[in-house]
Amino acid sequence: MTETAVCVGTFTAVKTLWEVRIHKINEELQKEKEFRQRLLLVWEERAALAKLKEKVINEDGRAILRIEEEEWKTLPSCLLKLAHLQEWQLHRTSLQKIPHFIGRFHSLVVLDLSRNSIESVPKEIGQLTSLQELLLSYNRIKSVPKEISNCINLERLELAVNRSICDLPPQLSDLKKLSHIDLCMNQFTSIPSALLNMPNLEWLDMGGNKLQELPDAIDRMENLHTLWLQRNEITSLPETIGNMKNLSTLVLSNNKLKNIPACMKDMTSLRFVNFRDNPLELEVTLPPCENEEEEEQQEMFGIEFMHMYIQESLRKTGNVESSTSGPSPVIN
């Protein structure tokens, strides 16, 4: 019995010793593995940083990161070592998300990430108070964060062909310098109220959405000179559109308009208007042109058609005086 107890005790002690040794060996192997992983990560970051530095150019006094048609699904944190960058131009890189550390690039003036696979915009974007242009067209963005309203120097915002955006946060009306917005090819069913509260807005594209009508308050965009509304479902235009005295370009092709409001005859700044491919109730034919160039102008610039349509509409309703009091057609 004594000898058996000694053997069992010795075996247990040896087993425990080996278990301790194996545990220590495993710990050392794990530490070595982690060290190698850290070392590999350091080397990868150094290689990535070196590669990024090769993509930095100086143009017009700006430090620009320009990457075209290369695979960069994510951006490494080592990019922070280039925080002096003033412009990013990353196109067709398959980038899937904007890094949260974007807010630390306080010198950024232009952020151009068009034609990628970005699905969301981080709220840290609002920390870019020097940003003037935010270009995110041709991505997969579904919503716009209210924090963009903190980019107080923003002048240009492009979100075209994201195909899912349906509204803008009202806080964007705080962007007093914003003059150019492209929202075409999305899911808007109405013009966002934020846009109506932007008196300095000059250029707006909302073509290829699902707009059914324009708001009566559309004339609050008093400095708007270019408005693209092609390929929507607009059935009528509000009388207030006639108050947009600075509007020079208005594209309404491929909608569901049945008439052109008479108030548009007094829009003397209008130089380019397109009513093609609408189910207008009246058939108006322009007089024949003397040459092909003039015919092409008539096709492109619908001012003469618009005035003739309004005159014919007023004639049919017996309002002859109004039909002759409008300005003569202008073609540029």
d(CA 300, CA 252): 12
pLDDT digits (tens, 9 = 90+) for 273-297: 999 999 999 988 888 877 776 666 6
Q: Is residue 196 within 8 Å of residue 220, measured between CB atoms?
A: yes
d(CA 191, CA 299): 28
* H, E, C per residue of 138-202: CCCCCCCCHHHHHCCCCCEEECCCCCCCCCCCHHHHHCCCCCEEECCCCCCCCCCHHHHCCCCCC
Q: Which domains does the chain have, with CATH numbers?
A: 43-208 (3.80.10.10), 211-286 (3.80.10.10)
Of the pLDDT bands very low, low, confident and very high (cuts 50, 70, 90), residue 31 is: low
Q: What is the pTM of this model?
A: 0.83
pLDDT digits (tens, 9 = 90+) for 211-248: 999 999 999 999 999 999 999 999 999 999 999 999 99
The number of C-alpha atoms within 13 Å of 134 and in the hemisphere containing its C-beta is: 29
Of the pLDDT bands very low, low, confident and very high (cuts 50, 70, 90), residue 326 is: very low
pLDDT at 323 over 50: no
Distance of CA 184 to the CA centre of its chain: 9
